[in-house]
Amino acid sequence: MTHPDPDDLLRLALDLLPEGQGAGLRAHLRRCPSCRAAYRAYLEA
């Protein structure tokens, strides 16, 4: 499994991704517990 760049997860958490890029990241987050944990950490920071 290829993981997204951590900067992209941060941009997703901050709602700074260009339109259309978030869907693929959200799909990955549904399948990947480690990326989901990193994303949650960005949301809580």
First to last CA, the chain: 26
The whole-model pTM stands at 0.86
Mean per-residue pLDDT, 1-5 = 92
State the chain's maximal CA–CA distance in angstroms.
26
Kindly state the DSSP code that residue 1 receives in the 8-state scheme: -
| Token pair in block for residue 44 | 């809580």
| Reported confidence tier of residue 1, pLDDT bands at 50, 70, 90 | confident
Domain ranges of the chain: 6-44
